[in-house]
Structure 1
Amino acid sequence: MAQAAWDAVDIPTPSIGTNPALGDSGATVVGLDTWVWADGDTPATVTATATAGPVTATVTATASGLSLSAPDSTPHCSGFGTPWQPGMVEGSSDCTIVFGRASAHRASQTTPLRTSATYDVSYTATDGSSGALDPVTVTSTTELPVTEIQTVNVPTPNH
């Protein structure tokens, strides 16, 4: 019964927002914390119920957060992230990634940011049975432009 309920569930792949997101390309910047967060299409919990005769089973799948990976980067993610808003303090998100290299050397001019969410799945039924089902991992890839910011040091004349 629990498996029948679970078979009817469709967990969407993670959908994310990022910041910085410069210009029309939405590029982020080498060496800065890039905030990553799950948007409204990425549920923390998914439930499904199925009934056969007198028995109803409810399956609950719960994810504790996102997992990030990308070439030339250092991810730190222990939750679903915090949507960035102006005035927020650096370091106040539980999900960031720092890119160590621009994506200009890549054929696509973007860096693939792989985002996963693993759901632990359990069930309870009205006949008193309960237990765990196999965990499920859903993954998406976002092609993210990563750019460098360069400055020119112009000496000022001595007066």
Structure 2
Amino acid sequence: MLNRALAFSVTLLIAGAATIVSATGAAADGSLCGHTACDTAEGHSSGGTVSVTVTGTGTSTGGSYTIPEQHLTTPPVCYYDFLMTGKEYAAVWGPGGSFTQLQHNLPEEDRFSPEPHYQDHKDDDEGGYWYPYCDVQRWTGTTDGYNAAWKQYYGTHDTVYVEADDTPPTDVEVPPEELARIAYKATTLPDGHIRWNPSRTDDGATFVGLDTWVWLDDPTTSVSVTATIPSGTSATVTATLDDMVVGADGARTTDCGGPGVAWTAGAEHTPCAITFDRSSANLPVKAGHDEPTATMTAVSTWRASWTSNRDPGTHDLANLTRTATAEVPVAEIQSVVSGS
């Protein structure tokens, strides 16, 4: 098995540590690409791409619904990469070889041994060793997350020798944190549809000086999106509606603490109401309307987190926000005075 010290050394080799590579008999440019599998500018086999299936569900006050399935691809973070041919490997472990010399520069606890039976391949310049590799340049998460990913991958995948006519191992992995990033990016939240009361029958107008109840009609309150790869690893992002702030031209902003409560006859209180202190008469007529309106906005905040079948914890993500708008006519209450 490729242990931590050897994995670190291989990383140095691939990054361009020419003083080590020069003794291997590898490519003259200091890379390890003397093999057909090394097909990228960085000197790695790319690992191809991994298919990702994204599914999801949402929950509203009216019930649950299914989010249409998506099929994406992403480059794997961890995959098998070509190390060197059998002949090159025997050279780096021979007298004066780079891995032999490296042992003198490592602490005792980090020293490592050659792969068993490597001498059986010392004359093979076509077959070679493939080792588990995690590409930090493909990692967008935390340092701790990357360290956990490569430890898990290295700990469950051995370095293997592949004859020239055999197929290299294709076991690839996208760690949970990266799948969570994919699921988070694929999470689509509804803006919501604003309702209010009073709402005059002919034009939906509310009135100056009255509490105007505001709510989202049949609001979605939670959305879960799961990204899964063929290995079975999955990550689920859950976003929950946490707060809503309502504001409008001519009214003070109100923090509703949620999507509001639909008005019903006889209801006496709502956590989500605004009061207009002037009419919309002096405001512009917006496109699609035939009278001046005040623009009402409802900004909802969604708390997001992710979990995985390969990770027992719950991890917070950045909050998500959505904004719904509505054009509201605001009228003056007309007083009627009768004389005696």
TM-score by length of 1: 0.89
- Give the gaps of 5 or more residues in structure 1: none
SS at match of 1:44: strand
1:81 equivalent among 260, 266, 285: 260
The one of the two structures with greater contact order (alpha-carbon pairs below 8 A, sep at least 6) is: 1
Aligned to 2:224: 47
Aligned length: 153
Question: How many Å apart are 1:110 and its aligned residue?
Answer: 0.1
Aligned pairs (5 A) from 1:87-106 = 87-89=266-268, 92-106=269-283
Partner AA of 1:88 in structure 2: A
Q: Return the letter of the residue paired with 1:107.
A: P
Determine the C-alpha separation between the residues in 1 that align with 2:243 and 2:318. Answer: 18
| 2:208 aligned to which of 30, 36, 50 | 30
Q: Secondary structure at the match of 1:22?
A: coil
> Considering only CA atoms, is the larger Rg found in Structure 1 or Structure 2?
2
CA distance in 2, matches of 1:23, 1:130: 48
Partner of 1:21: 199
Deviations 1:108-132 (A, max 9, x none): 1100001110111100111115412
Given that residues 194 and 324 in structure 2 are in contact (C-alpha distance below 8 angstroms), is that contact kept between their aligned partners in structure 1? no
Do the aligned partners of 1:44 and 1:65 also contact (CA within 8 Å) in 2? no
Report if the CA contact (8 A) 1:37-1:80 is conserved: yes
User: As a proportion of its length, which structure holds more helix?
Assistant: 2
The structure carrying a bigger strand percent of its residues is: 1
Instruction: Please point out which of 99, 111, 118 is paired with 2:301.
Output: 118
2:245 matched to 1:67? yes
Q: Residues 32-54 of structure 1, C-alpha deviation per residue, up to 9 Å, x if partnerless?
A: 011111112x3121111111223
| Offset, 1:15 | 1.2
Query: SS where residue 124 of structure 1 aligns?
Result: strand
Task: Give the % identical residues.
Answer: 37
Q: 2:325 matched to 1:141?
A: yes
Consecutive unaligned residues in structure 2, runs of 5 or more: 1-178, 286-291
Query: Residue type matched to 2:186 in 1?
Result: A
Task: Give the secondary structure class of the aligned counterpart of 2:282.
Answer: coil
